[in-house]
Chain A
Amino acid sequence: MNKVMSNKLVLALYVLPALCLLLGIVYVPIVYTGIYGLMEWDGISDMQFIGLDNYVKLLNDSSFWNSAKHSMYFALLSTASLFPYLLVAVLLTGNIRGVNVFRKIYLLPMLLSSVAIAQLWLKVYHPTSGILNTFLEWLGVEQTPSWLADPSIVLGALFIPILWQYAGFYILIYYAALRNIPASIVEAARIDGANAWQIAFRIKIPLISEIIKVTVVLAVVGSLKYFDLIYIMTDGGPNEASEVMASYMYHKAFRAFDFGYGSAVGFFLLLICLVATWIIRKLTATKDKIQYS
């Protein structure tokens, strides 16, 4: 058994193609980015080695920490939003009619590109003719907010479409995981007299805890490096009120022509993601893996 399952040739065949691709296309460039972070470079003229100057500058850059704060805020909200997703997935596994229709509808926003989603929500938030303010006016609100222009609410306003965009993704993952639980386990619990609520919370959810951990990591890391909608909808504005780490990196490298510094921001972002993952892993570590037996 052990011999068969550690066949070197088979291992190489299974692992090497994907590994080479990952190293060549993801790791080699990021190492280069790390090197560029040590340079003074506008992306055009010759590079100059300046050691850790860019990183020192980064640690003292209040604009960067401002964007980092926003990214962390997104990460916390995204993690919190996993609970309702899980709840919906549990509801879907209940014996209801039309479950397939619901499941498909939930995933629909995920099919749209960020460009389309951004256009939709720009229209929803439009200060005068947006559907949201039109609705609020109809309710009798006199001073309707300028959702994307007001620094105090812009982050919240940006979070809603992100929540909406990814809902179907997480619901699908949870749903598939829940459906993969052997029916015998659920049936055994039922015979023991557990009600539906107990089955959901004491049996089903603990059984997919590995998947839940995975989604927490995905949500946190995804939020920390989130870029698309923010870039299109507010471009980090007004006055950096919605700037996040990835958009800050992009602005530095591609707008301000400070590619050395932009690379340093990108590399630092990677470090933050790693630390965040490590913390999540530590916090959620269990002594032994749950096994179906």
Chain B
Amino acid sequence: MNRKSMAVLMLIAALAWVLAACGGGNSSTGANGNTSQQNGGNEQAGNEQSSSEQNEAEQVELHMMHLWPEGTTLAQYNLVNQIVDEFEQDHSNVTVNIEVLDNEQYKNKLKVLSASNKLPDIGFTWAAGFMEPYVKGGEFANLNELLDGDLKDLFVGGTTEAYSFDGNTYALPVELNIVPFYYNKAIFEENGIEVPESYEDLKNVIQTLNDNGVTPFTLGGKDAWTASFWYMYLAERLGGPELLDEAVASSTFTQSELVEAASYLQELVDMNAFIKGFNGLSNDEAKAEFLNGNVAMFLMGTWEVPNYTTNEEIPQEFRDNVGFFKFPVIDGGKGGLDDWVGGPGVGMFVSENSEHPEEAKQFAAHFVKRWGELSVTEAGVIPATKVDTATIDLPQMYIDLLNELNVANKVTLYLDVQMKPVAAEEHYNLVQALLGKAVTPEQFAQQQEDVMKEGN
């Protein structure tokens, strides 16, 4: 062989070697990777061996994944780091490695990791339908012992149920949100309108605003879960607090109130209650219209409250002008004013396959406790653990909302979270179709039921 071509091949080989060495982080994994290619399953044995070599120190490494990137959710990001630091100081043998992903990527990665049985020791999951396959697949550890011990009576009543299957709890909620209407007081004043107290009032408000050329509601229908809030409230106000829970539990969706709610929603579309092109707007685009003062009202979860209270990026003048009100009751309907749509957001799970289940559970208990103590004041996040409003200093909107939570009659968990993933996917499509008037209310209900039945 010619010398030149030999040199090129050598170069390629050298490149590959350099890559293997620096890519692995430390040189030993690089070498391991190369040999295990031939020896198939040997790699795991190698790992165990190397961990037993360091046995004397009993060093434990926990892998944790969360979804609050530094760029946009700095307060949560810092709070997680603070709690982790505290834990590491108390447990000198434990190191917690943190991986941060944004929401959508987090969901995808969790899925891929679980497919290969490589979930992080500690991570966050959404409730009910989202976590059900993980629980059924034996991926999440049972956390009953923590709830009966360390964490007894710490949580707001009913919040852990969303993470329970057959009486066993598999995750600990760290957020609790309800969905109020936010409104722009300045726009209300300019147009001489008051906060609506009945559904008829609400329709009058919509009419008045439209007559004056102001868009009543912003809505990011591309993210169909936001449109689902509307449907849920109408269904609840018409059919009462248990209607939706029972519909999901029994996999029927053709109850007359559920169909009626769909036609109410289409009526609102016909009244031009929503911003133009809402089905093509993301929630962020829709939200910006409200933050810019172009739109009078916005129906959204309480995770938005920092934008109306403490967020310095939003002009003070605007923040002072935002108030909230509850979804008004419908005459003759069975739902009450203190029934909310909402529920716990993400909850912390411990992997069933964790190599250090004890340490992971200890960490989870520590995390949930400290998070509950700090999250409202540090990050503006309402925790699922009880908060004493008397002892902490908070903006008025927080206090009002926390008090609403205390007197709430019922919080109906988001439909897309309650449903199994297949049915939830179809729910998104159907809500978009309903708002786009591509289906009738009857078809909407029937098709939703068909998918729910199929999933059983």
Contacts and interface: CB of A to CB of B under 8 A. Distances in A.
In the complex, are there CB atoms of A and B closer than 8 Å?
yes
Interface string A156-185: 000000000000000000000000000000
A259 interface: yes
B279 A149 contact: yes
B280 interface: yes
Contacts of B200: none
Contacts of A70: none
B276 interface: yes
B182 to A, nearest CB: 19
B283 to A, nearest CB: 12
* Chain A to chain B: the 7 pairs with minimum beta-carbon distance, closest first: A127-B277, A146-B277, A148-B280, A149-B280, A44-B137, A149-B279, A45-B137
B9 interface: yes
B134 interface: yes
B432 A122 contact: no
B391 interface: no
Interface stretch (B41-49, B108-116, B183-191, B402-410): B108-116
B436 A147 contact: no
B279 A44 contact: no
B222 A237 contact: yes
Interface of B: 9, 12, 107-108, 111, 114-115, 133-134, 136-139, 221-222, 224, 275-282, 285, 289, 294, 421-422, 424-425, 428-430, 432-433, 436, 438
A128 B277 CA distance: 8
Contacts of A104: none
A45 to B, nearest CB: 4
Given A42-B133, A148-B222, A234-B222, A255 B275 contact: no
Given A44-B134, A45-B133, A148-B222, A238 B433 contact: yes
Interface string A230-260: 0000110111100000000001001111110
Contacts of A254: 107-108, 111
A126 interface: yes
A269 interface: no
Given A45-B136, A151-B438, A239-B438, 18 more contacts: A13-B9, A43-B133, A44-B115, A125-B280, A126-B277, A127-B276, A128-B294, A146-B280, A147-B277, A148-B222, A234-B280, A237-B224, A238-B432, A238-B438, A239-B433, A239-B436, A251-B425, A257-B421
A256 B433 contact: no
A208 B249 CA distance: 64
Residue from the set B136, B280, B285, B425 with the largest chain A CB neighbour count within 10 Å: B280
B286 to A, nearest CB: 11
A43 B285 CA distance: 33
A43 B275 contact: no
Contacts, number: 100
A64 to B, nearest CB: 14
A199 interface: no
Contacts of B294: 128
A256 B429 contact: no
A151 B429 CA distance: 12
A205 interface: no
Contact of A238 (B134, B136, B436): B436
A122 to B, nearest CB: 7
A122 B285 contact: yes
B133 A149 contact: no
Contact of B111 (A13, A43, A238, A240): A43
A154 interface: yes
A71 to B, nearest CB: 18
Given A42-B137, A128-B275, A237-B429, A257 B281 contact: no
B221 A238 contact: yes
A149 B221 contact: yes
B422 A126 contact: no
Interface in A91-109: none
A44 B133 contact: yes
